[in-house]
Structure 1
Amino acid sequence: MTFWLTALLVWVAAGARVGRVLVKPATTARVAIVVAVAAVALACTAAIPDVALAVDNLLPGGLPPGRLSEGVVVAAWLLFATATSVVASAAWPVVSRRNLRQIASCIYGMGLFAVIAGLSTSFTAAWVVTAAAALFVIVTGLRNLSWTALGRGIAVYITGTVLVVLLAVGQIQRGMAGAARPDPGRPAWAWPFWQVAALLIAFGAVWIVVEMWTRARLLLRRVQTLHKVLVKRFPEVVQEETGTSTQLKASDRVAQILDALYLQSGGGVEIATAGEPPAAVSARAEQVAQWARHPLGRVVVDSRWIAPPEGMSPRGWVQAIAAAFEAQPEAVKRPDASVR
């Protein structure tokens, strides 16, 4: 059951990457990621004992038991390393978009040659090429790590690739030592570690998609009350939404909240009694939130307060206002008649 579940999850990740290519320009790097994740999914599928046994029965006798299914797995992992090398090549400064396609063609050509040569002679040679290509990917990935959504995805992807290198080295040692192949229908060598590597690679490939979707959902939930109050007050800020995806909807909500606050402040008019906004983001957000709830109360705010503080994104600023809006005590939410 574990084999089937792992293969299913990796195929889902491959499908997610295909969907990303369909909605965005199909660049060489994006297509290479699809190929890499699909190759990992193929390797996981061919490594399932029942599937491996069925693959070995496709051809008549003449091949050693398990030779064909093992060859599919080796070729799939080599294809993964080749396709990921194309993605890694795009990250180097010396490679431009203009010559990336030519470089990718050369890399795919060398990968195809390695597959043919390795499968026709010895699987050990194919594992050597896989390990070497994966090492190039690891070095490139370490150079591009950062604390961003993309950087975190790269870190997870590289962790899986490191495990692939270690397992490929183990396969090389086994091949040089002449270790016997597992019996047909039995799990391959170190199969739990291969599954972990495949899941890490698949998760790393879709990390940015999952994280951006999760952050958009959290943003929609956090600004829901503030958005509802302001849109009811200024319905003209709601226009036709640019898309139905969660990320686009979250961007629309942020823009609508800022537009409504701008209209409530007088459309760019500076008010002397408002004063300069404080440097502290929390104090500024608390004042704006209180004014957003009760525009005729004691708090006075103009357009200078509405603009995001320096170094802060509109999304982060709107979330800060929404958090302060929700955290207001009941005495502020329901002022007495004299305040109103």
Structure 2
Amino acid sequence: MTLWLTALLVWAAAGARVGRVLVKPATTARVAIVVAVAAVALAATVAVPEIAVAIDNLVPRGLHDAMLSEGVVVSAWMTFAAATSVVASAAWPVVSRQNLRQVAMAIYGVGVIAVAITLAWSRTFGWAVVALGGIFIVVTGLRNLDWTALGRGIAIYTAGTAFVAVLAVLQIRQASINAPRTAPGHAAWAWPAWEIAGLLIAFGAVWIVVELWVRARVLLRRIQPLHHIMISRFPEVIAHEQASSSTQLRASDQVAQIMDALYLQSGGGVELIAAGPPPSSPVERADRVAEWARNPLGEVVVDARWIAPPEGISPRGWVQTIARAYEASTPVHARN
């Protein structure tokens, strides 16, 4: 059952990557990621015993020892290694955007030849190619780690690839000692490890999409009270033909609407002597803007200098800081 679930999750990740390619330009790297995740999904599917038996039954009687399903699994992981190597190649300075397509064609060409050799001659050769490809991918991934949404996705994807490289080496070792095979390309004890590797790769491939969606949902929830009050005062900041198609775009639109409404409320760029220069502390500045946003006719005076995001803070981060201060100063009974 877990094998079926793993295959389903990896196919879902592949579908998500296909959707991203349809929404954004189909670059060489994006297409390669789709190919890589789809190859992992194929390997996870063929690893299901029922599927493996059905594939092996396609081989004429007397040739069942060839284990066609094992060849499919090895070929799928080789395809994964080749496609991911294309993405990894794009991260090296010697490969430019102009020649990435040529590099990709060369890698795919070598991959096709390696798959043909594997199917016709030796599964061990195929696992060796997977291990070498995995090492190249892991080295490249470690060179490009950072604490961003993309960096975290790369870390998860690289961890899954490291699992694959280690398991490929273990497959070579198993073949060298002529250990009995109990399933297509996998020793029985290795099944959970292959599942973990596939899931890590799938999660890494869609991590940035999921994280950006979650962050957009959190942002929308946080700025909702501030957005509601500002839009009720300045409904003209909303374009009537505006219809955001995604959560991320809706969050960006609402941030822009809040900034526009705050700017209009401040007088449209007029500098007021009574406002004075904004403090260097973003928190203190946000507290005053939030208080003024709540009661623009009160004693607090704010002009466009206070509305502009402080240095080093994006408009999204600045609006979120103001919204946090606005929510903190809202009485509990008013929130409900």
**Normalising TM by the smaller chain, what interval?**
over 0.9
Counterpart of 2:55, as a letter, is V
Kept in 2, the 8 Å contact 1:242–1:248? The answer is no
Q: 1:189-228 to 2 correspondence within 5 Å?
A: 189-228=189-228
Q: 1:298-317 to 2 correspondence within 5 Å?
A: 298-317=299-318
Q: 1:103-182 to 2 correspondence within 5 Å?
A: 103-182=103-182
1:283 corresponds to which residue?
A: 284
Q: Once the two structures are superposed, what CA deviation does each residue of 1:127-153 show, in whole Å capped at 9, x if it has no partner?
A: 111110111111111111111110000
Matched, 1:13 2:13: yes
Kept in 2, the 8 Å contact 1:48–1:187? The answer is no
Runs of 4 or more, structure 1, over 6 Å off, are none
Q: 1:291 to 1:183 in 2, by over 3 A?
A: closer
Kept in 2, the 8 Å contact 1:65–1:183? The answer is no
TM-score for both structures, normalised by structure 1 = 0.95
1:250 corresponds to which residue?
A: 251
Kept in 1, the 8 Å contact 2:7–2:41? The answer is yes
Q: 1:117 to 1:189 in 2, by over 3 A?
A: farther
What SS does structure 2 have at the residue aligned with 1:241?
A: coil
Kept in 1, the 8 Å contact 2:49–2:183? The answer is no
Counterpart of 1:251, as a letter, is S
Counterpart of 1:28, as a letter, is T
Q: 1:256 to 1:329 in 2, by over 3 A?
A: closer
Q: Distance in 1 between matches of 2:43 and 2:67?
A: 14
1:81 corresponds to which residue?
A: 81
Q: 1:66 to 1:199 in 2, by over 3 A?
A: farther
The alpha carbon displacement at 1:241 in A equals 2.2
Identical aligned pairs, as a percentage? Answer: 67
Kept in 2, the 8 Å contact 1:277–1:304? The answer is yes
TM-score for both structures, normalised by structure 2 = 0.96
Q: Distance in 1 between matches of 2:183 and 2:26?
A: 42
Q: Distance in 2 between matches of 1:30 and 1:183?
A: 32
Q: Distance in 2 between matches of 1:261 and 1:8?
A: 47
The alpha carbon displacement at 1:242 in A equals 5.4
Q: Distance in 2 between matches of 1:214 and 1:65?
A: 49
The alpha carbon displacement at 1:189 in A equals 4.9
Counterpart of 1:200, as a letter, is L
Q: Once the two structures are superposed, what CA deviation does each residue of 1:42-98 show, in whole Å capped at 9, x if it has no partner?
A: 000000011111111122223234711111111000100000000000111111111
1:338 corresponds to which residue?
A: none
What SS does structure 1 have at the residue aligned with 2:274?
A: helix
Kept in 1, the 8 Å contact 2:57–2:64? The answer is no
Q: Once the two structures are superposed, what CA deviation does each residue of 1:267-323 show, in whole Å capped at 9, x if it has no partner?
A: 000000101111111111110000001001011000000000100011110000001
Q: Distance in 2 between matches of 1:59 and 1:188?
A: 23
Counterpart of 2:262, as a letter, is L
Structure 1: 5+ residue stretches without partners = 334-340
What SS does structure 2 have at the residue aligned with 1:86?
A: helix
Counterpart of 2:33, as a letter, is I
2:29 corresponds to which residue?
A: 29
Structure 2: 5+ residue stretches without partners = none
Q: 1:183 to 1:330 in 2, by over 3 A?
A: closer
Q: Distance in 2 between matches of 1:135 and 1:159?
A: 11
Q: How many residues align?
A: 332
Matched, 1:39 2:34: no
2:54 corresponds to which residue?
A: 54
Q: Distance in 2 between matches of 1:321 and 1:88?
A: 40
